[in-house]
Every structure is written in structure tokens, then in C-alpha cells.
Structure 1
Amino acid sequence: MKRIHNKDDIVQVGLDLVLSKGFSATGVETILKQAKIPKGSFYNFFSSKEEFGLAIIDKFVEDRMEVLYPILADDSLPPLERVKKSFETIIAIFESNDCSKGCLLGNLGLEMSDHFENVRQRLEQSLQNWTKGLSELLLQAQDAHTIPAEINVEMLAENLISSFQGALLRSKVKKSAQPLKDFIHLYFNVFLSQREG
């Protein structure tokens, strides 16, 4: 394994470990050992493990947006199809990890929201940004008359993310992507499907 030399590399190693083991179970010693860096180096980059937690959230969101932005911005697809495809893409990543790891935002939300206020706020901001991005597409879908005009798009976006996170948790426990596939089917083929008048 290559020797780690900078903060970004430590964050990447730490992110992979935290996704696999959880934040509390990932000690600084483990990160240092995996990154093959001297014992004192961690605190050259981070004042605390909490600050490190904020850095891995930012890295996770940045990586996720690199994958999702081209889908969400693809004007060749109808808005609702882009929303669906964004979730399907996350599901494919989850399946490629043998239905483990899940979403860092959901994982840390469960593990840390009651203990680290700065982490809770960063998670909330990340989820709000996700909600905002979906809301904008859902509003476009509403303008195109593909979803009912009376639906509150912000509430729908928030509920899509909440339901997806719940399905992701269920899939981790079940070691099967079926709950996530059920989420896609129910929302996009049943609840939000166009019906003839």
C-alpha cells in the first residue's frame, strides 16, 4: 500500500473505515495504521476526532455529488426520471459493496446526532442540500404535470430521502437490496406514476 502523505488521503482512508466499522469503532490508531502514517500526524491535520468526522462528511458529500450531479443536471431526461435514476445509482453503489456500508449521512445520523452537535448540524445541512436539489427537480416535474400540483415538493423530497434512508437501513440488516428496489417501485411506479384522468 502506498504511504499516505496528505490530509485528503487520511480523510479517504478514514471515510472507508468509518463506512465499514462506524465512527466510534474506528479509533485514531486504526486510521493511522491503515494510512501508514506516524502516530502524531493525525493531530497535525485535525484538532480532534470530531473535526475529522466533519471532514469525512464533506468528503462523502463531495464524492456523492460527483456521481449524482451529471444525472440530476441531465436535461435529456425528464425531471422525475432524473430523481429516480439518482436513487438507482446510489442503490447500485450499495449493491457493489455487498449490501454493506450504506450512506454515511444515515449511519452517522444514527450514531452521532445525540453526542456531537457540530456533526449533527453538518449532517442536517448535507441532508437539506440534498432535499433542495430534489425539490427543484420535483418542481420541474410538477410544472410538466407529471406529478400532482397539490403536492408540496419540499415535503415530498424530504420524505423520499427519509424513506430511502429507512430502506437502506433495512437492506443493510437484510443483506439484500430488495427493500431499496421496493422503494423505487412504490414511489416511482405507484405513488408518483401518471394516471389517466
Structure 2
Amino acid sequence: MNTIPKSEQTRSRILSTGRRLVLGMGFTGMGLKELLSESAVPKGSFYHYFASKEAFGQALLEDYVTDYLSRVDRLIASPRSGGEQLMTYCAAWLASADKPSIAETCLVVKLASEIADLSEDMRITLDGGVHELESRLEHILRAGMADGSIRPLADPARAARGLYGQWLGAAILSKLGKSEQPLIEAMDDTRQRLLT
């Protein structure tokens, strides 16, 4: 029996449909009419949950950031070494038989440049999510240094920022070239530079 209230199910359906559409066509490219049609929600219902398309975008990013950070938190909570956690995180950027890659589903990859000039609130939400992720990567690096699976780093916070920047750049190049080669090279580089 589903215990989630119908109103929350509707809101979640709008957000999940919106995420799929935004990944395909960008935030400005996704029309409200298409979102309503795809999620089978009348216009009045949409405005019950979101005051505007920008408010919807804000909620979409908040939902995405919460989901993404929860997955990283589960990885950190695993009993694996810091080095194994890092490689598991990096491997998620590559596609596998049972799931698409982070590069294909990442709203930072898709929206960072688009929303930076479009909405200050959306930009702040996405930027905050990136900083939270970098903090978690720093935690993984410090744990790996402590257990000996990651090389000593003079500044783990800076290394975490650089690592995320490297992977984000590789994801953009991968998308641009329609090839996972930049991600594969980032994996090799991460392994060689950071693992003991």
C-alpha cells in the first residue's frame, strides 16, 4: 500500500518528468506545455505546487542535489577504504549495462552555464550542491589518507575541488564528443595520481 499522499506523488511526478525533459532539452528549451503533457498534470495543478517555471526549476535542483548527495553519503557510509570509495564514485561517471552514467544524468553538466545567467536562486542552489559534494569528496580523500589507500595530500580540500573540476570537465568533453574517452582518461589519471 502506497503511504505517500497523492499530492506529493503528483509533485514528485512533475519533478521527475521535468528532470528527464531538462536533461534532454535544457531548462529554457523545455516548455511548460510539454512538461504538463508528459507528466499528465493540468496547468492549475502545476501552479498549485510551483508559483512559476523558475520556482519549478528551483525545486527541481533542490530535489536533484538532495538525491545526489544522499547517494554519495551512502557510499561514504560503506565499509570500504577511502580509495575504494573514490574509485566507486568515479566509476559512476561511466555508463554501465544497468545504469546511465553521471555524465548523462548530471544537471550540473547540463545546466551550469545556462542557469548561471538565468536565475540567481537556481545558480545558488546548484553552486551550493557542488560545494557540498566537494566537501564529501574531501572526506573520502581524508579517509583514504588515514587508511593508507590514498596518497598523502598537502591540501585535501583543494584536491577535492580539483578532482571534481576534472571530472566535470571530462563529462562535458564526453558529452560534446559523444565518447566516454575523456572519462576513461580521467579515471586513469585519478587512479595514478591518488591511489597508493
Q: 1:74-118: CA deviations, max 9, x gaps? A: 11x210220121121232369954897441023211111122111
Separation in 2, partners of 1:98, 1:121: 25
* Percent of pairs with identical residues: 26
Counterpart CA distance in 2 for 1:94 and 1:167 is: 21
- For residues 25-69 of structure 1, the C-alpha deviation after alignment (integer angstroms, 9 at most, x for no partner) is 001111011112222222111111111111111222233345433
Decide whether the 8 Å contact of 1:12 with 1:59 is kept in 2: no
Match of 2:36 in 1: 32
Residue 117 (structure 1) aligned with residue 120 (structure 2): yes
Residue aligning to 1:191 = 193
Over 3 Å counting, the alpha-carbon distance change for 1:33 and 1:120 in structure 2 is: same
Equivalent-residue separation in structure 1 for 2:60 and 2:22 (angstroms): 9
Q: Give the 4+ runs in structure 1 shifted more than 6 A.
A: none
Cα distance in 2 between the residues matched to 1:97 and 1:125? 24
Unpaired runs of 5+ residues, structure 1, are none
Match of 1:21 in 2: 25
> Could you say if the C-alpha distance between residues 70 and 53 of structure 1 is closer, same or farther in structure 2, counting changes exceeding 3 Å?
same
Distance 1:146 1:90 in 2: 21
Distance 1:63 1:172 in 2: 22
Task: State how many pairs are aligned.
Answer: 190
Task: State the match for 2:4 in structure 1.
Answer: none
Deviation string 1:105-142 (CA, Å, 9 cap, x unpaired) is 23211111122111111011100110111111111222
Deviation at 1:71, TM superposition (A): 2.3
**TM-score w.r.t. structure 2 length?**
0.86
Match of 1:105 among 108, 111, 120: 108
Letter in 2 for 1:81: E
Pair 1:182-2:185 in alignment: yes
Counterparts of 1:70 and 1:22 in 2: how far apart (Å)? 29
Query: Aligned partners of 2:28, 2:68: CA distance in 1, in Å?
Result: 23
Confirm or deny that 1:7 pairs with 2:11: yes
Counterpart-to-counterpart distance in 1, 2:123 and 2:176: 24
CA distance in 1, matches of 2:142, 2:153: 11
RMSD of Structure 2 on Structure 1 (CA) = 2.5
- Kept in 1: contact 2:27–2:111 (CA 8 A): yes
TM superposition score normalised by structure 1? 0.86
